[in-house]
Structure 1
Amino acid sequence: MKDIVAREDVNLPALPNTVLPAITELTEALGIPRNVLASQEEIEYAWRDLPRELREIPEYLRGELVARMCVAVSTGLFDGAINYIWNASILQLRQKIRNFGLAVVAQIQQSDFEEKNLLELQDSRLLDLCLKLNIVDEDGFFFLDQCRDVRNNFSAAHPTMGTVNDREFTIFLNRCVRYALADSASPKGVDIGAFISAVKGSKFNDSQRQIWIQRLTETHDAQRQMLINMAHGIYCDPVTAEPARLNSLDICGGLSDRFTASIKSDLINSHSEYVAKGLEDKHTASLQFFEKLGLLGLLNESEQHVVFSRAIDRLWNAHNGMNNFYNEPPFAERLLEVSHQGAIPETIQDHFVQTVVACRIGNGYGVSNAAVSYYNEIIQSFSPREVATLVRSSTNRNSIIGRRIANYGSCRKNLKVVLQLIDLASIPSGVKADYERLVR
C-alpha cells in the first residue's frame, strides 16, 4: 500500500483585470474574430480548476514547464498548455527509467541502453517501455497514450486538427498529473547478473537476505516474477550447491506473502514442465520448494500425496528406529507444518491418521514427550472424516492403533487423552457410539 502524501493547496493569483480585455483588444487590432481564441468563460473555468490539479504534483516537479503551462492557461492558449505539461510528463517518465537503472533496462531489453538511447526514444516507445517496466500500469498506459494522440494532433507542437476547450484541457492535465507526475515513487530495477551471482555465492547472512528481499520488493511486478522463477530454477537444479539452494529459499520465503497469481502460475508451470520432461531430480526438488514455502495447496492432489507420504514415512521410520523418543520431534514438527498447508489428500488420510495417532499413544515403552505437542495440534485439526478413521481404527484389532491399545495399558490410557482433544462437534454420528465407548 502506498503511503498517503499530504499535498498543500496551491493558491494561484486571480487573473489580472488587464489580461482578458487585452485578448479582446489584440483580436480587434489584428482584425480577427474573438472566438478564434478561448472565450473568457473557458479561461476563467480552466484557471479555477488549475489549483486542484497542481496540488497533486510534488513541489519539486512544479518547475519551468508547469509555470509556462499556467501562463498559457491564463491567456487561453490551451494548445500551448497541453504541450508544456506533456513535456513535463515525458521528462518525469524518463527520470523514472533512470531511477530504475539503465543497465538493468539493457539486461531486460537484451540490447544496449544508455542515456543516449533513452533520449532518442519516441514518446510512444517510451510509454511502451514504461509499461514493460511497470512504471505505469495498464490504465496509466491507456490514458497517457490517449494524451499522446491529443498532444500530437491538438497542441502547439504540430499543426492542429482542431482546438480543445477548457474541459478537454483539464482532463488532459488530470491524466498527465495522475499517471506521470503525481506519483513521485518509481520502482528500482534489480541487476540480474548481480542477483544470480549473489544467490549462487556463499550463504546469506541476515543483512544480505534483507537487502535482496528489499530490492525485489522495490522492483516492478514483472521483474520480481522473473527473478522468483529464476530462484526456483536455481533451487531445483541438481548441480546447485546447498548454500545457493538455501539462498533461493530465503529470498522466496521472504517474498511469499507478495506472490501474485501470475507468480504462482509461473511456478506451477515450471514445476509441471519438470514432470512433463521426466526430470525426476528437478521435480523432487520442486516439490520440496513448494513444501518449504507453504505452497502445497497450489499443487494437484497427486502431487500433494507424494509430499505427505514422504513426511509420514519419515516420521514412522523415526518412530520405529533407534532412540525414537529423541529422533521423532523434528519429523513430527515437519508433518505438522505440512498439514497446515491445506486439506490432507483423501488418498493418504488413513495412513496419516494411523501414523500420527500410533506415535501419539506410544509403543508400550512410552511416547516421545518432546513430540507430544505436535501430535496434539495435528489431532485437534482432524477433519470429521479423519476423526471417523481414528475411531474406527481404535476398534479394529487389525489396525496399528487397535493392536497397540489391545496389548498395552499405557496406549489405552493415552488414547483416551487423544479422544478428549477432539471437539464433540467434529465427531460424525456414524462413529459417535464407538467414540463414547472408547472414552469411558
Structure 2
Amino acid sequence: MSTPLPTVAAPVLPALPATVLPAISALTSALNIPRSVLASDDDIEHAWMGLPRELRDIPSALRGELIARMCVAVSAGLFDSAMNYAWNAAIIQLRAKVRTFGLPIVAQTLQADFEEKHLMELQDSRLLDLALKLNLVNEEGYFFLDQCRDVRNDFSAAHPTLGTVNDREFTTFLNRCVRYALADASSPRGVDIGAFIAAIKGARFTANQNVVWIQRLSDTHDAQRQLLIVMVHGIYCDPNTSEPARLNALEVCNALKAGFTAALRSDLVNKHSEYGAKGDDARHSASLQFFERLGLLTLLNESEQHAIFYRAVERLWTVHTGANNFYNEPSFAERLLELSKQSAVPETAQEQFVHAVVACMIGNGYGVSWAAVPSYEQLIRSFSPREVAIMVAAATTPTTLIAKRLSAFQSCRTRFKGALGLIDPSTVPNVSKAAYDQLLRL
C-alpha cells in the first residue's frame, strides 16, 4: 500500500466565468457541429470542482507550466489535452527522479552505458520499467501508471483517439499521475556501488567516513540498500577479507540493522544457509559470527543457535578451569550475557549453560572472579523455569561438580544461596519447589 499523503490546504481556483461554457456552445454552433462532440457543461463543472483536491497533493515546485495548461484545458472541456499535459508532467518528474538517483549509478545497475541522452530517448514504457527497477515507484504505482500510459496513448490528444473520456475518468487518470509520480518531489539518491565496496575493503573507516556511508545507504531505496547489505555480508564472510574491512562491514550494518526489512533478513539467512549447504565451513562460520555480532541470532535456526551458545559456554568454562581464571573470566561472561539477551538459550544447550554459569558464580575453594559476578547475576536472574530446575537438580545430584563444591566449601554454599535469592520464587517449577526450599536453608 502507498503511504497516505499529508493533508494540506488545496489551491483555490477561480470560478469558471459565466462566459466560458456559453462560449463553447457558441463555438460548436458556429462550426455547425453537435455540442456533444465536446465535454458537457456538467462534466466540465464537476472536473473543475475536483481539480483543487488533486492539485493539493502536487508540491508547489511541480505546479508549473504543464499543470497550468492542464487546468486551462479542463476549463474548456478538453480532457484529452488535459490528460496529455498531466502525463507529460509525470514523465518529466520521473526523469528528474532518475537524474537525482544518479546516471552513473543507473549505468552500474543496468550494466550498460546510461547518460542524459539515453534517459531522454527512453520510451515511456521503458522509463516506467527503469523507475520500478530503481524503486522510484513501487509495484502498485507501476501498475497504475502503466494503465495511465495506455489511456494516454489511446484517449488523449497525443494520438488519434479511440474515444472520449468523461470527468470521472479524467479525474481518476490525474489522481494516479499525482499519487504515483507528482506527489513527492523528493527522490532517493543511489549509492555508487564500486566506490562503496572499495571503501569497505579499504582501510579502517574514519568517523567521518562511517557517517557518510551510513547516511548514503540510509538515503537510498530499500532495494539497493538490500543489495549492498547482502554484498557486505559476503565481504565479511570471505576468508580473504582483512580485519579492518570486517569491522567496516559490521559498523555499517550495525547502524542500519534496525531498518532491515523482512526481505533483507530473508536474503541474509538464505545466503547463510547456502554456505552451509555447499559445505563452505569457513564462510559459514564467519556468517554465524556476523549474525552473532549484530544481535540477530533469532534469525538462525535452533541448531545454529545451539552451536553459538555451546561455543560461548565452552570458552567460558575453558577459561574458568585454566590459569588466571579470576582475571580472564569477565570478558567471556559478558559475551555469554550478550548472547542471552539476543535469544533464549536453546533447550539443547541449557544444561551445559546452567552448569557453567552456576559453577562460575559459586567459584571454587580459592574464591570467585568478582569482576565477572555481575554478569553471572544477570544471567541467573533471567533463568527460565526449566533452567531453574536444572540449577536445583545440579545442586542436589551428588555426582555433579556443583554439588561437590557445595559439599566441600562453605564459601560456595554461601554464594549458591545468594544465587538462589536472585531467582523470583514464582519462576521455580513445582517439581523443584521442595528441593529449592531446602537449598535455601543451606
Give the TM interval when normalised to the shorter protein. over 0.9
Q: Aligned residue for 1:259?
A: 260
SS at match of 1:16: coil
Sequence identity, in percent? 65
Q: Distance in 1 between matches of 2:3 and 2:73?
A: 33
Specify the alignment match of 2:230 in structure 1: 229
Residue type of the alignment partner of 2:67: V
Q: Which residue of 1 aligns with 2:167?
A: 166
Aligned to 2:436: 435
Of 24-33 and 335-344, the range deviating more from structure 2: 335-344
Name the aligned partner's letter for residue 191 of structure 1: D
Confirm or deny that 1:54 pairs with 2:61. Answer: no
2:34 is aligned with what amino acid? Answer: P
Task: Tell me the residue number matched to 1:101.
Answer: 102
CA distance in 2, matches of 1:2, 1:49: 21
> Partner residue of 2:283?
282
Provide the residue aligned with 1:86 in structure 2.
87
Q: Helix, strand or coil for the counterpart of 2:342?
A: coil
Q: Structure 1 stretches of 5 or more lacking a match?
A: none
Letter in 2 for 1:226: L
For residue 291 of structure 1, what is the aligned residue in structure 2?
Answer: 292
Deviations, residues 338-386 of structure 1 (Å, cap 9, x unaligned): 1112121111110000001111111122221111111111111111111
Deviations 1:240-291, CA, capped at 9 Å, x for gaps: 1100000000011111111111111111111111111111111111110010
Is 1:194 the counterpart of 2:207? The answer is no
Deviation at 1:6, TM superposition (A): 6.4
d(CA) in 1 for partners of 2:186, 2:76: 33
* Counterpart-to-counterpart distance in 2, 1:326 and 1:210: 36
Code of the residue aligned with 1:148 in structure 2: it is: R
Secondary structure, counterpart of 2:146 in structure 1: helix
Tell me, in whole angstroms, the C-alpha distance in 1 between the residues paired with 2:327 and 2:317: 13
State the match for 2:144 in structure 1: 143
Letter of the 1:424 partner, please give it.
Answer: P
Following superposition, the deviation at residue 5 of structure 1 comes to 5.6
Q: Which one-letter code corresponds to 1:415 in the other structure?
A: F
Shift of 1:105: 0.8
Q: How does 1:27-426 map to 2 (within 5 A)?
A: 27-426=28-427
Is there any run of 5+ residues in structure 2 with no aligned partner, and where? none
Secondary structure in 2 matching 1:338: helix
* Structure 2 CA distance for aligned equivalents of residues 335 and 274 of structure 1: 25
Deviation of 1:13 after TM superposition, in Å, equals 0.8
Q: How far apart, CA to CA, are the structure 2 residues paired with 1:191 and 1:277?
A: 31
Question: Shift in Å at residue 4 of structure 1?
Answer: 7.8
Q: d(CA) in 1 for partners of 2:6 and 2:316?
A: 53
Separation in structure 2 between the aligned mates of residue 4 and residue 155 of structure 1, nearest angstrom:
27
User: Given the two structures, how large is their TM-score scaled by the length of structure 2?
Assistant: 0.97
Find runs of 4+ consecutive structure 1 residues off by over 6 angstroms. Answer: 1-4
Once residues 274 and 348 of structure 1 are traced to their aligned partners in structure 2, the CA distance between those partners, rounded to angstroms, is 24
After TM superposition, give the deviation of residue 87 of structure 1 in Å.
Answer: 0.2
Deviation, structure 1 residue 3: 11
Identify the residue that residue 24 of structure 1 maps to in structure 2: 25
CA distances 1:143-193 after superposition (whole Å, capped 9, x unpaired): 111111111111000111111100111111111111101111211100000
- C-alpha RMSD over aligned residues: 1.4
**Shift of the alpha carbon at 1:125?**
1.0
Counterpart secondary structure, 1:91: helix
Q: What does the per-residue CA deviation read over 1:305-329, in whole Å, with 9 as the maximum and x for residues that have no partner?
A: 1111111111111212222122111
Q: Is the 8 A contact 2:5 2:57 kept in 1?
A: no
Letter of the aligned partner of 1:162 in structure 2? G
Is the Cα–Cα contact under 8 Å of residues 43 and 167 in structure 2 kept in the other structure? Answer: yes
Q: CA deviation at 1:8?
A: 3.9
**CA distance in 2: counterparts of 1:6 and 1:192, whole angstroms:** 37
Report deviation, 1:206.
Answer: 2.3
Residues 286, 408 of structure 1: CA spacing in aligned structure 2 closer, same or farther, 3 A cutoff?
A: same
For the residues of structure 2 that align with 1:55 and 1:11, how far apart are their CA atoms?
Answer: 9
In structure 2, distance between residues paired with 1:376 and 1:132: 52
